[in-house]
């Protein structure tokens, strides 16, 4: 079968790629699977299970290549054992945007979510869904 079947990666631009690599590897559990210098800047690909995160520290910010033509409101990551994850984030001093775990009955049967701030001010939401889908 051909066609779109899922998300390949989410890209985050960062002013400090080392800081971002350390955060996603050491705190969020991603593995660094590739890193190189390209003509557009520093590049790293991270992987966690079947999810990939691309980090770019651009050489320069210009509207034609790295402008704000599109934006990501947040990165949503799946979590099991969200209470333990919150405790770990607090121990590591990760800045939270939410006041702990938020419990919602919607969408999709409900979820529990932690909202936090990544090293380049990107919003990251950690979700534990109440039902499997």
CATH number at residue 3: 3.10.180.10
Neighbours of 85 (CB within 10 A): 18
- Examine residue 65 and state whether it is found in any structural domain, yes or no: no
Split into its structural domains, the chain has a count of 2
Question: Which helix (H) or strand (E) is 54 found in, with range?
Answer: strand 51-58
Res. 69 pLDDT band, cuts 50 70 90: very low
DSSP secondary structure code for residue 96 in this structure:
B
Position 32 in a domain? yes
Q: What is the pLDDT of residues 80-103, one digit of tens each?
A: 999 999 999 999 999 999 899 999
| Token couple for 64 | 């034609």
Asked whether residue 66 is assigned to any structural domain, the reply reads no
Cβ proximity of 50 and 28 under 8 Å: no
pLDDT one-digit tens code per residue, 13-60: 888 899 999 999 999 999 999 999 988 789 999 999 989 998 888 887
Kindly tell me if the per-residue pLDDT of 120 is higher than 60. yes
Residues in the chain: 133
**The tokens of 49 are what?**
């299970």
Report yes or no on 105 lying in a domain: yes
68: in domain: no
**Does residue 69 belong to any structural domain of this protein?**
no
Indicate whether 78 and 50 sit together in one domain.
Answer: no
Residue 78 phi/psi, 5-degree rounding, is -80, 140
Say how far apart CA 85 and CA 64 lie, in whole Å.
39
Judge contact between 27 and 94, C-beta under 8 A.
Answer: yes
C-beta of residue 6 within 8 angstroms of C-beta of residue 49: no
Is residue 5, in this structure, part of any structural domain at all? yes
Please say whether the beta carbons of 79 and 126 come within 8 A: yes
pLDDT at 133: 63
Residue 68 is predicted with a pLDDT of 46
Of 8-22, 37-51, 64-78, 100-114, minimum mean pLDDT range: 64-78
Question: Which residues form the domain of 125?
Answer: 74-133
What's the confidence (pLDDT) of residue 60? 74
Identify the domain boundary among 27, 60, 93. Answer: 60
Q: Are residues 55 and 101 in the same domain?
A: no
Q: Same structural domain for residues 105 and 81? A: yes
pLDDT of residue 105: 87
What does the block give as tokens for 76? 């949503």
């Amino acid at each position: 079968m051909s066609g779109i079947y899922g998300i390949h990666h989410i890209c985050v631009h960062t002013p400090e790629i080392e800081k971002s690599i350390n955060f996603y590897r050491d705190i969020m559990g991603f593995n660094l699977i590739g890193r190189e210098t390209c003509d557009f800047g520093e590049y790293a690909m991270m992987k966690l299970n079947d999810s990939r995160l691309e980090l770019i520290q651009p050489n320069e910010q210009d509207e034609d290549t790295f402008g704000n033509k599109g934006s990501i409101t947040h990165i949503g990551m799946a979590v099991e054992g969200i209470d333990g994850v919150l405790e770990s984030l607090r121990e590591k001093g990760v800045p939270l945007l939410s006041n702990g775990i938020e419990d919602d009955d919607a969408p999709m049967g409900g979820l529990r979510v932690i909202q936090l701030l990544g090293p380049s001010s990107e919003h990251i939401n950690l979700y534990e869904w109440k039902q499997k889908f």
